Structure 1
Amino acid sequence: MADLCDEGKRLYASALRAGRIARAEADLAPCLVEFALLHPDSDDPGWLRPAPPTSVLAQRLRPIEREIQERRALAVELTEAFEPFMSISVQDRSTAHAITVLEGANRINAAIEIATTECQSEILTVQPGGGRSEAILTEAVKRSQGIIDRGIRMRTLYQHTARHSQGTIAYAEHMKQGKVEVRTLEELIERLMIFDRTVAYIPARDDRQAALELRHPGIVEYLANVFEQLWQRAAPLLEETPYAPPIDGITGVQRSIARLLIEGHVDEAIARRLGMNVRTCRAHIAKIAAALGSGSRAQLGYLIAQSGILDKNR
């Protein structure tokens, strides 16, 4: 009776109390006949009599009960079909799921959320690129606060370009009250998250719509050691900028760009490696060209190599 209209409910109740209802009045609610709540009065065709609610209810429930029985039978069939595989799948988690491919942002985020919830002592993260958006940082504050409240230590690596993001600096200021440390480095490996040195997550595709969940102890320990090496070279975010002073009018970041240029990297690749947008990268390249007196991109690589700026202390 979920689809019975309000007028139909009112008229059916009235018919039950009176024992019958005029056919003309019942025409105002066609759902009464559709639900078989009324039937013709054998003594007077101008009137309709109500069917007992118990019989109507039983009639409406019959197909639902039949569907429930069919679904129960299907559940039994599925259980019996999977029974032979249950004993096979019950293995040591570290060997049975050493590498798991996660596809789709929802599945990746769900896995990371579970790892965060199960984490007991330490989270290590590498976040390449520039500053984060306000929405991302707001969510990070909420998530990190829960981690702090549980006494978990968290260390995060950003790139130097994040130092230009006031939001990222505000996040670091807010988080320094707990066991959260943030450092920056000029170049980083791809995104990485390690929980309790037992499970790690790395991207599996450039579009970040696939990730690998790694539980093999050897792989996770290797990635943790890579993180520690990067951490030792990195500078605390809230301390003075680690950029090297200019030499011959070329700044430290511009020398990094120059080095990547003569290695043959295109603008997009350089920007991605240094955590900046392509427009900023090209502006730096233009300044390098002006400082070295280069008239073309082809000449620029030669002038960089001949200038010796990459051999000087940074």
Structure 2
Amino acid sequence: MSYPRHPTAPGSTQTLTPDNLEASLVQARGFLDEALRVSRETRSTTDTYIEYHSQGWRTAARMLLRGVHREYVLASSGASVCTMEQLDLQSRLVGEMVARDIGVRHLFNPGALARPSVQKYAESVARRGAKVRVSTSKFQDTIIVDGRSAVVWGRNGVYDEQCLVIRGTVVLDGLHRLLNVVWDSASDLDTYQRWHDHESAELTVAIVGMLNAGYKDDAAARQLGMSVRTYRRHVAEILRRLGAGSRFQAGARAVQLGLLPA
């Protein structure tokens, strides 16, 4: 059986056989795969856009969360208020995501957890399998879905919650990295609550404040109305619980736990 002659370059021809036909198809497939890869990478860096969402962050967040496949990250400073019904619905949604092997991370600051409804929500999603941490660092209220889309919002006035929707890896890469840095230095929810719910939490905060301010033991003991021996016993216990090898490390750890302002 003969095969048609196929031009490969101006002025030249070659006989098309089963072997070189297969080789040509493999080469063409390689070119196509490379073209698709370049196209995807180009779109990911040029299709980035930021838009104002007039209907508010809750509506924008619901739209993004419908398409979550890998990860849902929430950073909440407590600037926005949600009803208990909204928080209960969100908690159930988080449980469904975890059941689908979607990674869920929630980052709160102490101001957010000071609200009983938010604290209850944080405990609820932690029980459902979400990772929950607390940080005293300043961060913007943000939701990131799959590292590709985000909603960023702030509160302006009583009802006007302005919201930006961001898509594309160029902008989100920096935002995602920033939140990851805050996340890595934050305390897990159980550790944070163990310190703040402790019966002597107020005294602990006072002593850590003295250590951080550089008070000498006798001066700090007088300020707190206790003997130097009792004060030093409290300091030793605090260092042990903080896992700190020095008073300086204790101060840094206390900031991380929210016992002291950053």
Normalised-by-shorter TM-score class: 0.5 to 0.7
Residues 1:183 and 2:133 aligned together: yes
Q: Which residue of 2 aligns with 1:147?
A: 97
Residues 76-132 of structure 1, C-alpha deviations (whole Å, 9 max, x = no match): xxxxxxxxxxxxxxx958634511121232xx4333212111110101111002896
Q: Would the alpha carbon gap of residues 149 and 96 (structure 1) be closer, same or farther in structure 2, given more than 3 Å must change?
A: same
Residues 1:219 and 2:171 aligned together: yes
Q: Would the alpha carbon gap of residues 161 and 255 (structure 1) be closer, same or farther in structure 2, given more than 3 Å must change?
A: farther
The higher-RCO structure (CA 8 Å, 6+ apart) is: 2
For residues 11-26 of structure 1, the aligned pairs below 5 Å read: none
For residues 66-145 of structure 1, the aligned pairs below 5 Å read: 92=43, 95-96=46-47, 98-105=49-56, 108-129=57-78, 133-145=83-95
Q: TM-score, normalised by structure 1?
A: 0.44
Q: TM-score, normalised by structure 2?
A: 0.52
SS of aligned partner of 1:174: helix
Q: Which residue of 2 aligns with 1:274?
A: none
Measure the CA separation in 1 of the matches of 2:204 and 2:128. 42
State the shift of 1:159 in Å.
1.3
| Structure 1 contact 199–214 (Cα < 8 Å) conserved | yes
Q: Gaps spanning 5+ residues in structure 2: where?
A: 1-41, 214-222, 225-247, 255-262
Q: Which residue of 2 aligns with 1:237?
A: 189
The total of aligned residue pairs comes to 173
| Structure 1 contact 172–238 (Cα < 8 Å) conserved | no
Residues 203-235 of structure 1, C-alpha deviations (whole Å, 9 max, x = no match): 266345321111131210111111111111111
State the shift of 1:183 in Å.
1.0
Q: Which residue of 2 aligns with 1:40?
A: none
SS of aligned partner of 2:184: helix
State the identity %: 16
| Structure 2 contact 74–107 (Cα < 8 Å) conserved | yes
Residues 124-146 of structure 1, C-alpha deviations (whole Å, 9 max, x = no match): 11100289653342232233233
Q: Would the alpha carbon gap of residues 133 and 101 (structure 1) be closer, same or farther in structure 2, given more than 3 Å must change?
A: closer
Measure the CA separation in 2 of the matches of 1:180 and 1:196. 15
Q: Which residue of 1 aligns with 2:258?
A: none
Which structure is higher in strand share? 2
Measure the CA separation in 1 of the matches of 2:68 and 2:204. 49
State the shift of 1:173 in Å.
3.6
SS of aligned partner of 1:209: strand
Q: How large is the RMSD of aligned CA atoms in angstroms?
A: 4.1
| Structure 1 contact 169–238 (Cα < 8 Å) conserved | no
State the shift of 1:201 in Å.
1.4
Measure the CA separation in 2 of the matches of 1:110 and 1:199. 14
Measure the CA separation in 1 of the matches of 2:139 and 2:51. 21
- The residue type equivalent to 1:103 in the other structure is S
| Structure 2 contact 141–154 (Cα < 8 Å) conserved | no
